Structure 1
Amino acid sequence: MRRSSEDVLRPASGPVEGGDGYTACLPVLTAFNVESYHLLQSDPSDPTLAVLQQISAQLKGYTLTPPFLNATNTTAGSHLAPAPFQAPASAVWLNSLWFSSLVFSFAAALLALFVKQWIYEAMVGGTSRESARLRQYRFNGLLKWRVGTVVVVLPILLQLASVLFLAGLLVLLWTLHNTVAAITSILVAIVFTFVIGFTLLPVFKSDCSYRSPASFAIYAVLRVICNEALRVIRAVCKVIYRWSTRWAEWRVQFDRLGVFAYDGGYDSMPTWRGRDQNEIYRQHGDLSRAVVTTAYSTTADTKFLASMPVIFSDLPPEQVPMCFVDIMCFMNAEWGHWHLPDRLLFEDAITLPLCATYGIRHMLARSDKGTDGWANDTQAIFRHYFVGKESSAELAELACKTLCHYALEHRALRRVFGNAFTTLRLMYDEQGARHTYDTLAHAKAMYEVEMAAWDPSQGFRSFRDTTQAVYVLLHCVRATISGHSRLTSSQTDAMLAWGRQELARLYEWVCHLEWTGLHKGCLAISGDAAAILAFPHIASHHLVRNIIDPVIALCSTPSGLALVSGEIVSAIERTWSAARLAYPDFVEKEAGFVWSSGLDQIDARLAKLKTVHQLPPR
């Protein structure tokens, strides 16, 4: 009995031998094809069908005339032969698609076997020159006979086999049941949509990661078509341009056409790899930056940050701040909004600040220095700088020179000057870094600019910055006379001469300091009266921290004691007495602003200063 089309969906049972990727689908396709090819022929071995056909023919030859049954026609056995069998169109399409799929699968498996043999035969062992020459000879043969192209064809054949199999499956289902066929058709359409999309996207987008041999083949064909079309168009344009040159008044209008016609490389499609190289050249800055920042954002290992300054000189100017923007985005996503992990603050307080100082130095060499764009880019780098619990000689020297220079270039950002001041105080005074003449010269230049900017009308902010500048002066003088800095004798003499001059300037500033009105901008709690009450606490804090204690440290050495005159010590004491008269009412310690107060210790520190300087008490 001839099998029905439903039987095709039930492959023959039995074990299927495993294989590699190119042979695994052969048993499945073979099982379906064994069942489907029966649809193309009748089944002559079915006796029931033959008997029924004969009975039907005999019944047609009888007439009923009651009470008799007469035979009006007799049919010889030779006339009972069945009509020629004609396979339905669905069976023809089904078998055409499935057998084509089987052929493609078999071809892929066979080619894969050949490729394995070719590559195995091309392998050459040994390290001698003869082996190297033979290896190169066979490699040249692989390139000459395009073995790589054959390898690319293999997955394409399997993809074609899959497409043909699914198409045949739909043909079969539409002959069996419309609902099942419709659902399967929708699913197959979705699959084909994704497959076509994944295949075509890399053809038009070089950065698309859905690359496949099929995409490469489509791009190669498209490139040949487009370039040939352009060649034909250019040939036509050449003819038109040559024709236009006969009339001088038309030649100008056809100049562009001539440029297009005779520019052989104009708008031609590059090769598959050439397109990638063009994009890499256009994005070389982004890619170079991402080499380091991606490594850090993937591992959070600061050793990758340590190598980042090496590439700064090779990056376009706008890419340097983008390195730090990438780091900031990673930290925001990993630890929250600009939250440095504790291991950066305590375990590795050198790598990121050192990287930031190198970035700022690179920004200070830019030609657009001083513009708003430059200021924004530099601040994006500067926010990664911090002073940790430890430092290195390289970081201290680089940070001192860089921040002092940055503070001069961008005085509007007062945080830079504050960080430069903190760097000198922590890295040099507390952590013991050694100055060079270059670092002292940078600190000296920053001090002179800040001291010249003293403006009592600016209130507390100007007072705070000026006292910090005084600290920088005293720091430079103490570093010079301590012998700890790396200075020559001539450099030491030059710094001491400058120190004497500026200490006299300090005396003049302290003597002429007017306290009234300096509380402006010093609101610890709401209200102007509260600011007046708070100011003595904060002013005493800056006097003790930035002037009195550094002068005590300077006078603790014989050379420093010789530099600081008694008039300076007396002037400091008098100016604090003037502050008490200007702001007589002090707030209790329980107020919220005593965190910055030096009011409870300034009298003792003044007494200590007078003792160190051996002045008689007042």
Structure 2
Amino acid sequence: MDTLLVYAGLSSAVLTAFNVESYHLLQPDSSDPTVAVLKQISAQLNGYTMAPPFLNATHTTGPDLLASTPFQASVSAVWLNTLWFSSLVFSFAAALLALFVKQWIYEAMVGGTSRDSARLRQYRLTGLLKWRVGTVVVVLPILLQLASVLFLAGLLILLWTLHNTVAAVTSLLVAFFFTFFLGFTLLPVFRSDCSYRSPASSAIYAVLRYTRNEVLRVVRGLCMAIYRWSVQWEAWEAWINVHRAQLDRLGKFAYEAYGNMPTWRGRDQNAICEHHDTLTRAIVTSAYSTTADTKFVASMPVIFPDLPPDQVPRCFGDILSFMEAEWGHYHLPDRQLWENGVTLPLCATYGLRHMLARSDKGTERWFNDTQTIFRHYFIGKESNEKLAELACKTVCHFAVEHRALRRASVLAYKTLKWMYDKQGARHTYHTLAHARAMYEVQMAAWDPSQGFVAYRDTTHAVYVLLHCVRATISGQSRLTSSQTDAMLAWGQQELTRLNVWLRDLQWAGLHKGCLAIAGDAAAIVAFPHIASKYLMKMIINPLVTLCSTPSGRALVSPELASTIERTWSAARQTYSNVADEDIGFVWCSGLDRIDSQLAELKAAAGQRP
């Protein structure tokens, strides 16, 4: 109300300044009598003739010349003042109503927190609703808008009577203004999601709704009468049978189709129900994109059960779009969230679990959605037990069910290495069972024809095996004695299987898989560097760590250490003409350290308690 009062006062002041000058156009000019007298004197002087020695008057002024012509205002002046004074009335009416509304609201206010105060407050609120004070409030801005429109219309009339060029330019500007004004007013009437809402739009929609519903009611009533007539009127039976299909459609329209047009707010509720899933998703993602506060991302998994499966990856797509728009590249926020390495990975883990429940698993769309979520999974400096357990189960499950998604197996290996080996998370029997299942699937899928890719995946699986054994004998896992015995028995059996796999490994041709790896051509050709790197990182070093405890040394036999040494010797002999220890990328391989690590492994495995 205060804002409307300020605008109404400003509008009234501007209109008054114009009306002070325009109302003179409705009155006769005060200089008209003087002009009439001068005309009479001029006529008398013209009627004298000079004939010396006499001055004769040959022309006299009749009474018709002396009579004044009655004043009549021009049409433009009438229209101009009508529009401007109407605009002034609307402005003053809006100001007066605004004052009234302020008084009504002030009188309706009730203080206190007692029950009597609450009843009085409700009584007055009911009165405000009953006497439609809200409608009066809606009318105020409409009056001010009408006042502005009338003023501009009158201004154009004035300019067209003064100068055509100025009037044409001003008319063009006013036309643009009216075009935008009508567009902003009418768009919300036909589009419920349009934000250009105003009281004028609401009023137009109410009139349209009433007109449409009433016309539809009359038409449906007429159709209903015709349909009833067609059922009861036997004299026209032949004609009715011919047009039975049309009459049936008429009856369906009359009794079933085309409900009433919803109210202004009802239309919004229908749209909300229609886009319920999208709006639910946008609640959290919009909160995060507005504040960049990860606490909103932490609450996002709460809404996942209420969303359709296809909406879950869209949550991460929204976050990714915000990151790219805000920082230019999606890895930047990962670095910013490095200190909080739990929130986003945990949310991504919940999202991956929902991907496992989708019915379209294995399709191209499912793979694309999964990749979108995987882009938000990273391992920070710190994690907690909840994240470690959930991530281990989820990524291992992915690696088991979808081997084509190789990123899952790599992330599973990294999760075990960083969250459990580096950060000290404690395994449960279920997490170890998931890791064990992933290992068995990877070992069963060994295919030498796939070259380096198969070698890399299998060595990753061996690391998982050694990790499970080490986690079991370390005493930090939450296992019962029977679970510990079962895991150790399985580990001893698989170490024997590892010995057989290394003994039977044929190196010839494995380097062909390197040709599919993008990067330095020399690194691709020099397969021994790649082979030594994975052999040392995934097998030798974990075995050395395992042998650091008495229980681990009891599981690692000297035969296994000797088999690894012979396997590496076979690799050097197979590719002796390619391997070059002086090549520039030795620092990223294991060629410079593998011999010493092999010696350490043999020494550790040879010591028996």
Q: Give the TM-score normalised by structure 2.
A: 0.93
Give the structure 2 partner of residue 258 of structure 1.
251
Q: Does 1:496 align with 2:496?
A: no
**2:513 is the alignment partner of 1:521:** yes
CA drift of 1:244 comes to: 4.1
C-alpha contact (below 8 Å) 2:515/2:525 kept by paired residues? no
Greater shift after overlay, 189-198 or 531-540?
531-540
Which amino acid letter does the alignment assign opposite residue 116 of structure 1?
A: K
Matched, 1:543 2:539: no
Report if aligned partners of 1:511, 1:575 keep a CA contact under 8 Å in 2: yes
CA contact (8 A) 1:335 1:341 kept: yes
Distance 1:590 1:337, change over 3 A: farther
Q: Give the deviation of 1:279 after TM superposition.
A: 1.1
Which residue is equivalent to 2:11? 25
> Once the two structures are aligned, what percentage of the paired residues are identical?
73
Shift of 1:468: 0.8
Pair 590,524 (structure 1): closer, same or farther in 2 beyond 3 Å: farther
Amino acid at match of 1:260: F
Runs of at least 5 residues in structure 2 that lack an aligned partner in the other structure = 232-236
8 Å CA contact 2:514–2:525 kept in 1: the answer is no
Structure-2 change in CA distance of 1:526 and 1:114 (3 Å): closer
Could you report, residue by residue, the CA deviation over 1:469-519 in whole angstroms, capped at 9, with x for unpaired residues? Answer: 011011111111111001112221221222122122112211111111111
Tell me what 2:144 maps to: 158
Q: Which residue of 2 aligns with 1:302?
A: 294
In the alignment, what sits opposite 1:447? 439
| 1-structure distance, mates of 2:189, 2:462 | 66
State the alpha-carbon separation in 2 of the partners of residues 335 and 314 from structure 1. 30
Partner of 1:371: 363
Query: Residue 554 of structure 1 aligns with which residue?
Result: 546
Match of 1:349 in 2: 341
Return the offset for 1:528: 13
The 5-angstrom pairing of residues 13-412 of structure 1 reads: 20-44=6-30, 48-58=34-44, 62=47, 64=49, 70-72=56-58, 74-75=60-61, 80-245=66-231, 247=240, 250-263=243-256, 266-341=258-333, 343-344=335-336, 346-412=338-404
Amino acid in structure 1 at the alignment position of 2:228: R
Q: Assess, with a 3 A threshold, how the Cα gap between structure 1 residues 393 and 373 changes in structure 2: closer, same or farther.
A: same
Deviation at 1:286, TM superposition (A): 1.6
Q: Does 1:565 align with 2:557?
A: yes
Shift of 1:263: 2.4
Contact 1:234 1:260 in 2 (8 A): yes
Structure 2 residue 465 is the aligned partner of structure 1 residue 479: no
Report the Cα distance in structure 2 between the residues aligned to 1:524 and 1:166, rounded to whole angstroms: 73
Q: Deviations over 1:269-322 (max 9, x none)?
A: 211111111111111222111111112122222121111111111112221111
Give the AA of the match of 1:610.
K
Shift of the alpha carbon at 1:141? 0.5
Q: How far apart in 1 are the matches of 2:85 and 2:96?
A: 16
CA shift in 2, pair 1:25/1:429, >3 Å: same
Tell me how far apart the structure 2 counterparts of residues 565 and 526 of structure 1 sit (CA, whole Å): 38
Change (3 A) 1:288 1:528: closer
AA aligned to 1:579 is A
The number of residues matched between the two structures is 597
Answer 1 or 2: which has greater helix percent.
2
Q: Normalising by the residue count of structure 1, what TM-score does the alignment of the two structures yield? A: 0.91
Query: Conserved in 2, the CA contact under 8 Å of 1:22 and 1:112?
Result: no
Q: Which amino acid aligns with 2:204?
A: I
Deviations 1:505-543 (A, max 9, x none): 112211111111111122499999957861111111111
SS at match of 2:79: helix
- C-alpha distance in 2 between matches for 1:152 and 1:283: 29
Report the Cα offset of residue 413 of structure 1: 2.0
Q: C-alpha separation between the residues in 1 aligned to 2:525 and 2:94?
A: 90
Aligned to 2:234: none
Q: Is the 8 A contact 1:525 1:531 kept in 2?
A: no
Per-residue deviation, 1:431:
1.0
Alpha-carbon distance in 2 for matches of 1:463, 1:243 = 84
Distance in 1 (alpha carbons) for counterparts of 2:55 and 2:214: 84
Contact preservation (8 Å) 1:533, 1:585: no
Question: What is the CA distance between 1:96 and its match in structure 2?
Answer: 0.9
* Structure 1: gaps spanning 5 or more residues: 1-17
- Mapped to 2, the partners of 1:144 and 1:594 lie a distance apart of 87
Which amino acid is the alignment partner of residue 133 of structure 1?
R
Deviates more, 1:556-565 or 1:181-190: 556-565
- Matched position secondary structure for 1:519: helix
* Partner AA of 2:226 in structure 1: I
Secondary structure of the 2:476 match is coil
| Structure 2 Cα separation of the partners of residues 243 and 41 of structure 1 | 68
Deviations 1:557-610 (A, max 9, x none): 222222222322222122112112212235445535435311111111111111
Cα distance, 1:174 vs structure 2: 1.2
| Partner AA of 2:392 in structure 1 | C
1:589 and 1:103 map into 2 onto residues whose CA distance is 97
Q: Any idea what SS the aligned residue of 1:201 has? A: helix
Q: Distance in 2 between matches of 1:605 and 1:445?
A: 29
Over the aligned positions, Cα root-mean-square deviation in angstroms equals 2.5
Amino acid at match of 1:251: R
SS at match of 2:330: coil
Contact 2:553–2:607 (CA under 8 A) maintained in structure 1:
no
Moved more, 115-124 or 361-370: 361-370
Give secondary structure in 2 for the equivalent of 1:370: coil
Residue aligned with 2:477, SS? coil
State the one-letter code of the partner of 2:603.
T
What is the identity, as a one-letter code, of the residue corresponding to 1:413?
L
Q: How far apart, CA to CA, are the structure 1 residues paired with 2:484 and 2:516?
A: 43
1:93 is displaced (CA, Å) by 0.8
